[in-house]
Structure 1
Amino acid sequence: MLKKSTAATAARTPKKSPRNGAIMPGQNPVPKTPGVDNDRSNEMRLYDDHGQRLYLTSDERRRFLDAASFESPAERMFCHVLHYTGCRPSEALALTADNVRLDAGEIVIRSLKKRKLDTKGRERKPQFRAVPVPAALLEHLDLVFALRASARLSRASGQQTGRLWDMSRPTAYRLVKRVMDRAGITGAQATGKGLRHGFGVALVMAKPPVPLHVISQLMGHADSKTTEIYLQVINDERRALIMGAWGQGS
């Protein structure tokens, strides 16, 4: 029996891609998105690759609220909802009068950044989270959007209420940027995500601190391990306190 040619055998053997992600000869590389760190674009971080802070401090959050007072009543309320709920701008835009529960003192937010399919490929049901907010915010929302009157009309007609804000996502992002600029907040943290991270940091730094599993629920994290990133801020603050006690800088 003739032996098979080694070259012929190799030609019929499929090439295995290396496990380290290297590009094999003749293999086309995965296209990268310009201007985006494709390996870390979805990673939760409090500091960027240059060590710049990605969350708002308590002082910056206060200044953001003060600067929002120069906007129209509806736009001012949009900024306040972002501040007090830690929701994403897209989630705030999806809010209706029905989502603001005046009697319960909370705003019910649909978690939009969730996988649409479960592990078995079935479509997931919409997921919501209830976030307690100050009574003053609820009263201002009622004054601006006539929530109680809207609820009465909704019950009488049997129809759901419309969205509170009809602005587009780009308009909402420009609003946040404009208020940040007016507040003198510049840098990598001057974004809607920075405001959301600031909400998480404020909860974990509260006295007493809010438990991580509660923060995870309020922020709509699918895994509480995601929320543990905010413990990094506690470690940074602890180091600053210790260095201060030694009379040294951080």
Structure 2
Amino acid sequence: MISASQQPKPCSACQNGQSLGFDFTMAFQPIVDIRDNSIYAYEALVRGLDGSGAGGILAQVNDSNRYSFDQSCRVKAVELAARLNVPCFLSINFMPNAVYQAATCIRATLEAARRVGFPADRLIFEVTENERVVDHGHLKAIMTEYKRQGFMTAIDDFGAGYAGLNLLAEFQPDIIKLDMEIIRDIDQHPVRQAIVQGIIGVARTLNIDIIAEGIESTGELEFLKGLGVHLFQGYLFAKPAFQELPEVNWS
């Protein structure tokens, strides 16, 4: 892990970033490991100050404040995680189109982690497949740099976005998070079963872990367990909790 003091000096985007003009906070949802009923990670999810969903906040993000918003999300997630004594991995979503230079844009995150005492080696950076990325080479460079620095990386919403397997062919993250729509009622849907089995097979070949997100029924859980999946996220276990860590239903 490269320390903050070893990072290059901030680029002009870091120095001249626009102020947001709005505020927000985070909710936390656990990712559970059913092998030993432990919590593998908490994902930090954007929320309004009144607890409202991410939509109203994301609607205010534009080209002039995207960088500041992305940086603020990372710092706020780390600060709240430290305050809540998160004992495991912390998963943070990032916007690749807001990252100018991966090695310098990570600096504020590392400084925040050091300031609040959160171990930087417990950070996971998720990029959503739903965000259209114009320059896949740039995204590959970001993910490669994060892995080089010792961070875990993940592709969120896999199977729902623009790139699919083409994105996976460009770089191999540590984790793939299966999109909730592709696993909805999978125990009753042979076509989805075949697609997910194929994705899991590719992931195993590439030594990539699978997280099934959006789990809402025991049928979905049991079918995916049968395929060897052991990391899960969804309402069946816990809904996101506003500025706190939720209790987990292990039944």
Q: TM-score, normalised by structure 1?
A: 0.23
Bigger-Rg structure (1/2): 1
**Which protein is richer in strand relative to its size?**
2
**Which protein is richer in helix relative to its size?**
1
Q: Which structure is higher in RCO with an 8 Å CA cutoff and minimum separation 6?
A: 1
